[in-house]
């Protein structure tokens, strides 16, 4: 299960990502927001982050205007490693090296086509299980 959430600035891109996940046959849970009415990104960033940290969702996707605020919010939740990505290389590297469990995107930074490619890269890239990366993740969690 993939948790997905956004504020008003990321709402349209969130809806496009949900459609894309459905087309891929992937299950998701939408934690809001449910319209483009102005709202506060920490509410939705925290909801998805808590679901991922609790194991209710294996991975998460968060979207706000820049992706910055919502990723900062998510990273406040213990057990979360949220990565703001604006390119496919970063999405791949953060899964391989950091075992990131939440992808953050900036809807006002990315076009929909690139955003969907980043989502696919993030979801399709497994963690490397390399000893040095495991050691570094442990250091982060401490």
| 3-state SS, residue 54 | coil
Active-site choice (8, 57, 64, 85): 64
Strand partners, 84: 104
Query: Which residues of the chain are modeled with pLDDT < 70?
Result: none
Tens of pLDDT, residues 98-132: 999 999 999 999 999 999 999 999 999 999 988 99
- Model pTM? 0.97
- Would residue 64 show up in a list of annotated catalytic residues for this protein? yes
| pLDDT above 90 coverage of the chain, percent | 96
Active-site choice (20, 39, 88, 97): 97
What is the spatial distance between Cα 141 and Cα 4, in angstroms, rounded to a whole number? Answer: 23
- Would residue 97 show up in a list of annotated catalytic residues for this protein? yes
Residue 8: CB partners within 8 Å, gap ≥ 6?
A: 33, 35, 36, 37, 38, 39
pLDDT reported for residue 142: 85
Peptide bond into 135 cis (omega under 30): no
What is the spatial distance between Cα 87 and Cα 97, in angstroms, rounded to a whole number? Answer: 16
What is the spatial distance between Cα 70 and Cα 112, in angstroms, rounded to a whole number? Answer: 18
pLDDT reported for residue 79: 96
Q: Which stretch of DSSP H or E encloses residue 61? A: strand 59-64
What is the spatial distance between Cα 93 and Cα 60, in angstroms, rounded to a whole number? Answer: 17
pLDDT reported for residue 49: 98
């Amino acid at each position: 299960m993939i948790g997905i959430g956004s504020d008003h600035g990321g709402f349209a891109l969130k809806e496009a990502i949900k459609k894309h996940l459905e087309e891929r046959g992937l299950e998701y849970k939408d934690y809001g927001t449910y319209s483009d009415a102005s709202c506060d990104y920490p509410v939705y960033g925290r909801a998805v982050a808590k679901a991922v940290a609790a194991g209710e969702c294996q991975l998460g996707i968060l979207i706000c205007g820049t992706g910055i605020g919502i990723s900062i919010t998510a990273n406040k939740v213990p057990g979360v490693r949220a990565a703001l990505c604006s390119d496919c290389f970063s999405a791949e590297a953060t899964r391989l090296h950091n075992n990131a469990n939440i992808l953050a995107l900036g809807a006002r930074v990315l076009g929909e086509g690139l955003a969907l490619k980043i989502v696919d890269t993030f979801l399709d890239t497994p963690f490397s299980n390399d000893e040095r990366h495991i050691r570094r993740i442990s250091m982060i969690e401490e």
